[in-house]
Amino acid sequence: MATKQEEYYFPSLPVPSVQHLTLNIVNEIPDRYIRPEFQSELVCTDDSFQIPVIDFSKILNEKLRRDEMTKLHAACEEWGFFQLINHGSEETIEMMKNHAEEFFKQPLEEKKAYAQEPHSMEGYGQAFVQFEDQKLDWGDMYLVRALPVGIRNMKFWPKYPNTFRTPPKQEKLPGTPQSSTSIPHPKSKEIQPGLLGVVRMKPSLKREIIDRYSTEVNKLAIQLVGMMAENLGIEAKQLTGMLEDVLQPLRMNYYPPCPQADKVVGISPHSDPIALTLLIETNNVQGLQIRKNGMWVPVHAIPSAFIVNIGDMLEIWTNGKYKSIEHRVVVNHHKERLSVAAFHAPNNEDVIIGPRPDLVKEGAKYYKSTDLNTYYKLNGTLQGKKHANEMKLVNTTE
Ligand SMILES: O=C(O)CCC(=O)C(=O)O
Ligand SMILES: [Fe+2]
């Protein structure tokens, strides 16, 4: 099946790396980053008002499944966001966090080797900069297309840390079978003291991190989408089938500290135009906020949890039963913040973006149906719930 991958990537004008801009700034930041439009918006100060937490291990447990599935349904209907715990990928998350942090610590020149090219969001740079006079977000990003395997462009995959993309070298240790290895990432938790004091990795941890992370996250995403279909009373395939041939970009976000943090925004308010996002905050610095009840609600990430959110495509496929939610990132005065978002969307241009027929059977259809290429062309800049809103039919009650 032929796909037109490049069309799905929105070209962005080159702008300076914010991380390196900050090295020369003492107090005043360039005007292009000042965003007065966001400064008066209400932020929720009640820390107990939080997105729901879903325990994946309970869903897999026959006795506990029912209640947890009900919680999942409510989370998707009422919040569009939840944290997923006990999902089994905790170790992989830990490695991903270490690697992403190490990558951004490198000198600018090293990172520039992966700079985005015109007409593509892949690589190191910024996203959604369309105009020379456009206001800018206070953050850098690094994006690689992880799935499908066939579209991987290895020139954008980081060579450092070396275990990011390349399996660690196999080294035979005296008296041990070939399962022993060495040279894991210096900071990674997989290091275990081996026989004769030689450092080795657990046999299960020998794959390159991006590949391993991408595979595990995609598997979870598809399982979650299947559970959502079940909760909506439709066949799992009605939703999972849309992602059988999946496009999974991984976006690593780096938000440097800012001396005028209350005047900038790390990522402008937006909903994700894809189907489902699984995100990790790598260094426990709060920054993500979601729009709820007319205010911005800070998300306090649980270490090792995935923050999962419904994207515009799932809102449209479910005919609005599940909602994509606007979110933004605020930055910190003193601390940097990092996150890694794994997006999931169809990779098959025959997939239709429109309400699934079984979800409009007994009622009105609230969204248009369109092909994937037309859908992606609705995009331009990060602007609220642009895709979902453009697709809404006027007869909608909301
Ligand atoms: O950094 C975050 O917490 C959110 C990032 C995000 O919304 C995105 O990459 O689409
Ligand atoms: Fe997002």
Does residue 121 form part of some domain? Answer: yes
**Pairing mode of beta strands 295-298, 337-346:** unpaired
- Please give the Cα distance from 240 to 221 (Å, whole number): 9
CA 327 to ligand 2 center in whole angstroms = 6
- Please give the Cα distance from 360 to 380 (Å, whole number): 29
Q: What is the mean pLDDT of the chain?
A: 85
Ligand 1 atom nearest to CA at 288? 3
- Please give the Cα distance from 224 to 314 (Å, whole number): 12
Residue span of the structural domain in which 76 resides: 5-391
Does residue 246 form part of some domain? Answer: yes
CA 127 to ligand 2 center in whole angstroms = 12
Say if residue 30 is preceded by a cis peptide, omega within 30 of 0. Answer: no
Does residue 398 form part of some domain? Answer: no
**Poorest-pLDDT segment among 64-73, 103-112, 242-251, 384-393:** 384-393
- Tell me the per-residue pLDDT of 354-387, one tens digit each, with 9 for 90 and over: 999 999 977 899 999 999 988 988 865 556 777 8
- Please give the Cα distance from 227 to 358 (Å, whole number): 16
Does residue 237 form part of some domain? Answer: yes
CA 319 to ligand 1 center in whole angstroms = 24
Minimal-distance CA residue to ligand 1 atom 10: 272
Does residue 397 form part of some domain? Answer: no
- Tell me the per-residue pLDDT of 186-207, one tens digit each, with 9 for 90 and over: 333 433 333 333 333 443 444 5
Q: Which of 310, 171, 177, 331 is nearest to 265 (CA)?
A: 331
Does residue 34 form part of some domain? Answer: yes
- Please give the Cα distance from 269 to 125 (Å, whole number): 19
Angle 326-332-335 (CA atoms, 0-180°, nearest 5)?
130
Which of 255, 289, 296, 327 gets mutated to test ligand 1 (max ligand atoms within 8 A of its CB)? 327
Structurally, the chain folds into a number of domains equal to 1
> Residue 376: its pLDDT value, please?
86
Does residue 55 form part of some domain? Answer: yes
Residue 131's CATH number: 2.60.120.330
Which ipTM score applies to this complex?
Answer: 0.99
Q: Which residues line ligand 1 (CB under 6 A)?
A: 251, 253, 267, 272, 279, 281, 287-288, 327, 329, 339, 341
**Poorest-pLDDT segment among 71-80, 150-159, 165-174:** 165-174
- Tell me the per-residue pLDDT of 317-350, one tens digit each, with 9 for 90 and over: 999 999 999 999 999 999 999 999 999 999 999 9
**Given phi > 0 = left and psi -120 to 50 = alpha, else beta, which region is 279?**
beta
pLDDT category of residue 139 using cuts at 50, 70 and 90:
very high
Specify the amino acid at residue 237.
Answer: K
Helix segments in 295-342, DSSP class H: 312-317
- Tell me the per-residue pLDDT of 252-301, one tens digit each, with 9 for 90 and over: 999 999 999 999 999 999 999 999 999 999 999 999 999 999 999 999 99
> Residue 166: its pLDDT value, please?
74
Which of 300, 328, 329, 385 gets mutated to test ligand 1 (max ligand atoms within 8 A of its CB)? 329
What is this structure's pTM? 0.88
CB of 197 within 8 A of CB of 211?
Answer: no
Does residue 347 form part of some domain? Answer: yes
CA 274 to ligand 2 center in whole angstroms = 10
pLDDT category of residue 185 using cuts at 50, 70 and 90:
very low
Ligand lying closest to the C-alpha of residue 250: 1
